[in-house]
């Protein structure tokens, strides 16, 4: 076996990079909600889109920031993936959807849906910053920011630029591995001094379209248990309905046609609205 000493040169001195200060350009928004998950595959974008539409159905002016630079899916789910952006004297104009939600996404800037965004963190940071500061969000009641999975650059950028956001909503699925990652997302929010508005347990059972029976594919009750353990509000459960996937592919939010999804997200949005009102007093 070869033996010897490995010499590692010390890294060159690095300049101290201070985090960006609070944005003075992100204006005109009454409430900013951050939609996060500890891991991928929990249906966070589905939740973000349907929660946005649910708030719009209640008469609020709603914006949706698709902050997943590498995998922007929100425009597809809202039926506007073929739209392009333009700007006027107020800034970049977010794309209007027929569901009362205005959306900004990297998807609008790509030549085709197959184009990959191969960017390092600095470029992703700049893109998210532009989505906040260079987009015309004036007179918007709610802006929801749909993050990529985890606690990386995009989440860090927004938490620094908008430190006075109303809080974080954590989307999870009930199985144990997802619950562990959800704790990390809650821990991230608290380290960044962000309020955690609550936990949504998505994919909480599968509703059979034939018999209507609920089958717990990913177990159940994990979201409520984590919420209690971490001392945050449990906002509700969203089961799997077979037609939800089909509607998402067609660009139709489930809360538009599925009465059960209307009820689930209506209840969740009411809890969020009530909590924000309570926090203001």
Would you place residue 209 in the very low, low, confident or very high pLDDT band (cuts 50, 70, 90)? confident
Question: What confidence score (pLDDT) does residue 57 get?
Answer: 97
User: Bigger pLDDT: 2 or 156?
Assistant: 156
pLDDT, mean of residues 261-268: 96
pLDDT for res 166: 96
Q: Over the stretch 61-102, which tens digit does the pLDDT of each residue have?
A: 999 999 999 999 999 999 999 999 999 999 999 999 999 999
Q: Is pTM beyond 0.85 here? A: yes
Q: So what's the pLDDT on residue 196?
A: 96
Q: Which residue has the tokens 């300049």?
A: 15
Q: Which two tokens stand for residue 243?
A: 């037609």
Q: What is the structure's pLDDT at 83?
A: 93
Residues 98 and 271 sit within 8 Å (Cβ to Cβ): no
- Whether the Cβ atoms of residue 30 and residue 142 lie closer than 8 Å to each other: yes
Domain ranges of the chain: 29-280
> What is the DSSP track for 107-175?
GGGSSSTT------HHHHHHHHHHHHHTB--TTEEEEEEEPPSSSSHHHHHHHHH-TT-SEEEEEE-SS
pLDDT reported for residue 152:
83
Q: What is the CATH number of domain 29-280?
A: 3.40.50.300
pLDDT in tens, 92-105: 999 999 999 999 99
Q: How does residue 245 score in pLDDT terms, banded at 50, 70 and 90?
A: confident
The pLDDT value recorded for residue 17 is 54
Element (H, E) at 101: strand 101-105
Q: In the predicted model, what is the mean pLDDT of residues 231-257?
A: 92
């Amino acid at each position: 076996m070869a033996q010897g000493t490995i010499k590692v040169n010390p890294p060159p001195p690095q300049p101290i990079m201070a985090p960006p200060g609070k944005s003075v350009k992100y204006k005109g928004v009454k409430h900013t909600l951050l939609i996060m998950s500890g891991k991928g595959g929990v249906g966070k974008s589905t939740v973000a889109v349907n929660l946005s539409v649910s708030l719009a159905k209640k008469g609020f002016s709603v914006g949706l920031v698709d902050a997943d630079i590498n995998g922007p899916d929100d425009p597809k789910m809202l039926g506007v993936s073929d739209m392009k952006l333009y700007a006027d004297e107020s800034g970049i104009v977010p794309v209007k959807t027929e569901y009362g939600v205005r959306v900004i996404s990297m998807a609008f800037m790509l030549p085709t849906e197959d184009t990959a965004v191969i960017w390092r963190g600095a470029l992703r940071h700049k893109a998210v910053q532009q989505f906040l500061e260079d987009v015309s969000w004036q007179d918007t009641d709610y802006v929801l920011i749909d993050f990529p999975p985890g606690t990386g650059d995009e989440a860090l950028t927004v938490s620094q630029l908008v430190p006075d956001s109303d809080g974080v909503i954590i989307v999870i699925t009930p199985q144990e591995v997802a619950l562990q990652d959800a704790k990390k997302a809650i821990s991230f929010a608290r380290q960044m001094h962000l309020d955690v508005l609550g936990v949504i347990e998505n994919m909480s059972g599968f509703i059979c379209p034939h018999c209507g029976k609920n089958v717990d594919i990913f177990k159940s009750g994990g979201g409520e248990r984590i919420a209690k353990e971490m001392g945050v509000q449990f906002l509700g459960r969203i089961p799997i309905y077979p037609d939800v996937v089909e509607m998402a592919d067609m660009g139709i939010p489930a809360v538009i046609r599925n009465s059960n999804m209307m009820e689930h997200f209506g209840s969740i949005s009411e809890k969020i609205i009530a909590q924000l009102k309570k926090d203001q007093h």
